Structures are given as C-alpha cells and as structure tokens.
Amino acid sequence: MKNITTILLLFCFSIVFAQEKNEVEKRVKKKQVPESAKEWMKDAYEKKSRVKWYFQTDGTKKAYEAKLFWKNNKHSVEFDTSGEIVNIEILIDQNEIKTHAKQKIQQYFDENYSKFSIKKIQIQYTGDGDDLEDLIDEDEHDEDLTINYEIEFYGKNEDADELWEGLFDQDGKLLEKRIVNIKATDNLDY
Amino acid sequence: MKQFIFILATCFAMNSYAQTRSLGGFFPEASLSYKISEKYSVTHKVESQHFVYNDQTLDDKFDYNHSLTDLQTFVGRRLSPFIKVDIGYQYRIEEGENTHRPIQQVSILQRSSMFRIGHRIRTDQTFFKNEKFLFRARYRLKSQIPLNGVSLDPGENYLAFSNEIIYMTQDGDDDIENRLAGALGFYIDDKNKFEVGLDYRTDDYLVDNRFRNRLWFKVGYYKSL
C-alpha cells in the first residue's frame, strides 16, 4: 500500500511539475460541431447567435470549444467529441476571485516566486449539464458545481523563469500547473 | 495614426515640389537561429537587395542591379519569456565599399488572445573607410495575426504587418527612414516560417530634393533548430 501511495504521489508530482501546454486549435464551421453541443448552447445561451466554434487537441484529448461574449464577459464552453459539455470558462478580473481564495493564491505566488505577474484569469465551472445550463440562463448556482480558477501567469524563481498555466480550486489551492510554451519569436526579432 | 498622417503629409509635400526618386526590386532574406544554452541563442541572417526598377537611370529604367548583401550574426540573451537582448554584427557587401556594422537590440513580446506584437528597439553604427560613422536608432513594431482560429498552429497561415522608424545621423547631418511592410506568413511549424510580402521604404526626408521611395518584393525564411 505504501508503495502504491508513493507511486501515486510521484505521479501527481510529475503532473504538477512536468506538464507542458502544447495545444493545437483551429476554427471549425458550426455544421462540423456535434448536434448535442449546439443544442446545449441554444438552451443555455438562448438567443445568442454570434458563437465561434473551435476544435482543439493536445495530442490525446480532443474537444470542441464555443467562444462567445455573454453579458459583457468572454465565455468559453468546452464539449467532448460526443457533444457532452465538459466545462464553462469565463474570463474574469483579479478582484472577482472570492476573497479567501484570492488570499491563498496570493500566498502561493509570494511563497513560490521572487517575481510574478498574472496574465489571465478564467473561472472554470464543471458539473452536470443541467446545472451548468441553470448557471447561465437562470443565474442559479448549484452546490454540486465545481469551481476552479485557471490562471495564466509569469513566474520567476531560482529554478524557473517561465509562463505558466495553473489550476487552483475554489479555496485557492494549486491543483496542477504546466508550462505554457511561447512560440518562437525569430520573425519578430530579426 | 498621427505618425501615418505625418508620413503621408511628408510624402505629399515632397512629391509636390521636390524631386522624388523611386526604386523597386526583389529582397530575399533567411535566418537561422539556435540555442547555445538555456538563456543564450545565436542567429545568423543573410539578406540581399536586387533592384529591377530605378527611375534615376537615363536609359532603361527596368534593369537588374545587385544593390547589396548583408551577412549578420547575433548573440541573444533571454531575460524573461518576453524580453530578449541581442548584440550583433553585420558585414555588408556593396558596390564601392563593404562596411562593418555593430548592432544592439532589445526585443519585447506582447501577447493578446488574438495576435502578438513584437517591439524591437535597435541601435547600430556603420563604419566607413573615408567617412565618419553613421549612427542609427530604430524602433519596429511587428504584429502577427493568425488567419485560422485564435492561436497559430502548424500548417496555418498568418498576416504580418510591421512599421519601423529609423533616425540616423552622420557627421552632423541627420535623416529619417520609414519602413512599412505587410506579408502573408506560412507557419509550417515553430521551427520553420515563410513570409511573402511587400516592404515599402521611404528615406531622405530631411535632405532637399533627395526623397526616395523603395518598394521591395520580399520573401523571408525563418529557420530555428
């Protein structure tokens, strides 16, 4: 049992410390998107017509993503290839993070980096399709919904000087992080 | 915008009462970049200008003429994922006199969800045998906009727009040059990029009766290892 725990722990460690973000994303036409995903969007976002659809893959995981503006916020809704909803991500400001989570996240940055800056924050809702629908069209917040914060940040410490994407839970605890690879800048520099 | 109006107005003014020189041609360039350590990288670049049109010649205005070829090498240090400093050296092969040019530059990457912008601040000094050296201070802004989706992925194309303003001074005389460029880019993968476009250069703004337009058809290959 101890061995398994050690292996599991090491595995988690490797997820937290060794992952890199290398997603490929492309624009797709609405007709290429699974019907059930379009249905869900129609139910939740009602009359919203300006939705941009994307297909993305990181090599193993494949997903469809709908991007739209809703009540002045940028929403990204992720579906799996069968059209089942995976999560909703909404772009937010730093001050929209709940106070206790914000403090914990701040503490994480202070303790782990000598220099850091937050580039982008998305609040991520995961859960049952109906609950997620209520969140959008009824503004109803079901307790079963999982809330995480996905934060893209620049962080420098003794070991690393990178752009990261970190996933924090609703209490501000870091769940995982990965390096965001910045594309070559040779054509911008020379 | 202000700057654009200034350039347009200057062009107009120059055209209306002064003699303007117009030239055009073909401008291939290629660069090769590789890392030598985690922070340091080396870039070699070769670029070459070939005139095919020159309105100053008395006989055939469409005549091929090799203008110059530049050989450049840079050593760069990445200060953060967004900031890089380089020192470089250029050897220019040109009719009359070949020249040496040390180059210093800082490049800053700015990202947005839809595109990215590279800011480049550069100074260089060109040394001649019988003349005083030429000092130039330059600022270039280049944007890269994906044409398919919000991020640029292998096999996709992009648009690149750039403008560079160059201030130069030599032996008490100064001048301004502007370079406006637009290109279609082919993002084969992160190590191979190809750009085809036009580069419109205007200079001798501050010299009487010498205002010059140059329009280049440019092709560029950016290779990294």
Predicted confidence (pLDDT) at residue B20 exceeds the cutoff of 50? yes
Say how far apart CA A142 and CA A139 lie, in whole Å: 10
- Edge to edge, the sheet with strand A52-57 lists A20-21, A174-180, A161-169, A146-156, A115-126, A85-92, A73-79, A62-70, A52-57, A24-28
Helices (H), chain A: 2-18, 35-45, 99-112, 129-137, 186-189
Q: Do the domain assignments include residue A106?
A: yes
Q: Which residues of B touch A (CB under 8 A)?
A: 31, 33, 43, 45, 72, 74, 76, 80-82, 84, 86, 105, 107, 109, 111, 113, 116-118, 120, 142, 144, 148-154, 156, 160, 185, 190-191, 193, 195, 220, 222, 224
- Which chain A residues have a beta carbon less than 8 Å from that of B153? 24-26
Say how far apart CA B179 and CA B195 lie, in whole Å: 16
Which two tokens mark B225?
């290892």
Q: Do the domain assignments include residue A40?
A: yes
H helix count then E strand count, chain B: 1, 11
The residue range of the domain holding A165 is 21-182
The residue range of the domain holding B168 is 2-224
Q: Do the domain assignments include residue A6?
A: no
Q: Which DSSP category does A94 fall into?
A: G
A130-140 mean pLDDT = 87
Q: A47-84: per-residue pLDDT in tens?
A: 777 899 999 887 788 999 999 998 889 999 999 999 99
Burial of A25 (0-12, 13-18, 19+ CB in 10 A): buried
Q: Are B137 and A42 in contact (CB under 8 A)?
A: no
Element (H, E) at A77: strand A73-79
> Which CATH number does the domain housing residue B87 bear?
2.40.160
B79-100 mean pLDDT = 95
Q: Do the domain assignments include residue A36?
A: yes
Q: What is the ipTM of this complex?
A: 0.85
Say how far apart CA A72 and CA A155 lie, in whole Å: 29
Residues 6 or more apart whose CB falls under 8 angstroms from that of B62 comprise B52, B53
Domain count, chain B: 1
pLDDT at A165: 94
Among the ranges given (A43-47, A80-84, B140-144, B162-166), the one the predictor scored with the smallest mean pLDDT: A43-47
Is the CB of A188 less than 8 angstroms away from the CB of B142? Answer: yes
Q: Are strands A174-180 and A20-21 parallel, antiparallel or unpaired?
A: parallel
Q: Do the domain assignments include residue A2?
A: no
- Which chain B residues have a beta carbon less than 8 Å from that of A182? 81-82, 109, 111
Domain count, chain A: 1
Work out the minimum CA distance from B41 to partner chain A, whole angstroms. 11
- Which chain A residues have a beta carbon less than 8 Å from that of B109? 182, 185, 188
> Which CATH number does the domain housing residue A136 bear?
3.10.450.360
In chain A, which among 74-93 make CB contacts under 8 A with chain B? Answer: none
